[in-house]
Amino acid sequence: MPRPSVEAERREQILQATCEAIAELGFRAVRIADVASRAGVSNGTIHYYFDSKDALLHAAFQFNFEHSLERRRWIMEKSDVPLVRLHRLVESYLPAGPETITAWRVWVELWASALGNVELQELNDTVYGEWRGVVRETVEAGVEQGALRVKDPGAATDMLLGLLDGLAIQVLTGSTLMTPTRMRAVCDDFIDAITVDKHRVASTAGKRTAK
């Protein structure tokens, strides 16, 4: 039996390979063999860690969300100004690089597959609820500091997330009318529209430093 540290590393390796397979092939088309090939392990190794294909795919969706948050933890920890944090979150979620595009494709596959799958609907409620909470916390901090003028932080959060999700899908489908640059501009304009005027200069100065 592998050591605990080796098991954790191997499990993460398998989940990362699963996300890549989902992004490339689609949720319904992914086979255990596809994941094993990408992870460089045998089918038997996959089954050692996961009882079924469904268990593997569900774990991959959860992993995709947790990994996405982990890659943005620095924004939450180092951005003391809520407005700067919002702009940096937008920047970090633009489907512009390979890693972010893969993560977005997995998200979209989760949503599409959840239409007829109660378990995936529940998973989406859980992980998306956590993500909504992260953004709402930032919006509420902006309101408390007097930097944002919104009557309902929850509604403002949903509007921003709706923009991010809807525009990202357009980018992913190759729309010539919606590029990452255009998506950034639209989302930044929304944030600026709910920003108290005197805070806009400071917000703009920090918004482009996200990676």
pTM of the model: 0.85
List C-alpha distances in Å: 3 to 6, 9, 57: 5, 10, 24
Tell me how far the alpha carbon of residue 22 is from its chain's centroid.
Answer: 15
In CATH, what number is assigned to the domain containing residue 180?
A: 1.10.357.10
- Whether residues 8 and 111 share a domain: the answer is no
What's the pLDDT score for residue 74?
87
Given a contact cutoff of 8 angstroms between Cβ atoms, the answer to whether 64 and 101 are in contact is: no
- Whether residues 79 and 144 share a domain: the answer is yes
Given a contact cutoff of 8 angstroms between Cβ atoms, the answer to whether 18 and 60 are in contact is: yes
The DSSP H or E segment spanning 137 is helix 118-144
Given a contact cutoff of 8 angstroms between Cβ atoms, the answer to whether 54 and 47 are in contact is: no
Domain boundary among 47, 64, 81: 64
- Whether residues 130 and 26 share a domain: the answer is no
Q: Which domain holds residue 162?
A: 72-211
What's the pLDDT score for residue 159?
97
- Whether residues 120 and 166 share a domain: the answer is yes
Token couple for 200: 């806009």
What's the pLDDT score for residue 3?
62
Alpha-carbon Rg of the chain, whole angstroms?
A: 19
List C-alpha distances in Å: 34 to 107, 108, 128: 19, 20, 27
d(C-alpha 107, C-alpha 165), whole Å: 10
Domain count, the chain: 2
d(C-alpha 76, C-alpha 73), whole Å: 5
Q: How many CA atoms lie within 13 A of 7 on its CB side?
A: 7
Q: How many CA atoms lie within 13 A of 13 on its CB side?
A: 16
What's the pLDDT score for residue 155?
98
Mean pLDDT by 10 residues, the chain (211 residues): 76 96 94 96 95 94 92 84 92 94 95 92 93 94 94 97 97 96 96 83 47 37
- Whether residues 164 and 105 share a domain: the answer is yes
- Whether residues 44 and 104 share a domain: the answer is no
